[in-house]
Amino acid sequence: MSKINLEKYPIGNYVEPSSITKEMRSDYISIIASFPEKIINEVASLTDEKLNTPYREGGWTIKQVVHHLADSNMSCFSRIKYALTEESPVIKPFEEDVWATLLDAYSFPIEPSLKILEGVHERWAALLDSLNEKDWKRDFFHPQLRKNLKIDEAMAKYTWHCKHHLAHITHTKQKMEWT
């Protein structure tokens, strides 16, 4: 078994659940609903210099992580809506590493992305809360993964993704001894 790089994966690698229960779905909704407040609280006291600190050598800056979360979570919210309104739609992936090099991701203030997270997550949690059993099993095709993902499977991965990037920020603050 290989050793996990905790700087890159501070909460460990994603492990796909073998089955997803109603309780797990409820947890996913809670995580989505509370996530913006957690990110906002973690970055509130950070100066621009601290926001421009990479979470690991060769990794994104905290600023890039925040902008990535806005980009990625908007994308997932849209994917869920496509899955609910179309039959197994093919989604459009994006090159996150390339997006992170665009001006708005590496030098733009984080406040607009924090506002995006607040709005998208409020709507996303409400949408997820409205789903019935059949809705949770609707799917979309992910061309990079070359497979269909059910909404509940996508939410298992995206809630891990939220916690994963939040941990990049919290671990960086601990490592740097920022209060």
CA distance 57 to 146: 31
Q: Cβ distance 177 to 36 under 8 Å?
A: no
147 - beta bridge partners?
Answer: 142
- What value does the mean pLDDT take over residues 135-140? 98
Find out whether 73 and 121 touch, Cβ atoms under 8 Å.
yes
Given a cut of 70, whether residue 153 has pLDDT beyond it is yes
Residue 10 and residue 166: Cα distance in Å, rounded? 9
Q: Which residues contact 86 (CB under 8 A, 6 or more apart)?
A: none
d(CA 27, CA 22): 9
* pLDDT mean over 90-110: 95
pLDDT for 1 equals 42
The predicted pLDDT at position 5 comes to: 84
CA distance 107 to 140: 33
User: Would the pLDDT of 40 be above 90?
Assistant: yes
Beta bridge partners of 54: 61
pTM: 0.95
Q: Identify the band that residue 3 occupies on the pLDDT scale cut at 50, 70 and 90.
A: low
| Mean predicted confidence (pLDDT) in 76-94 | 97
Check residue 2 and give its pLDDT. 53
The pLDDT of 141-156, averaged and rounded, is: 97
The pLDDT-based confidence of 125 (bands split at 50, 70, 90) is very high
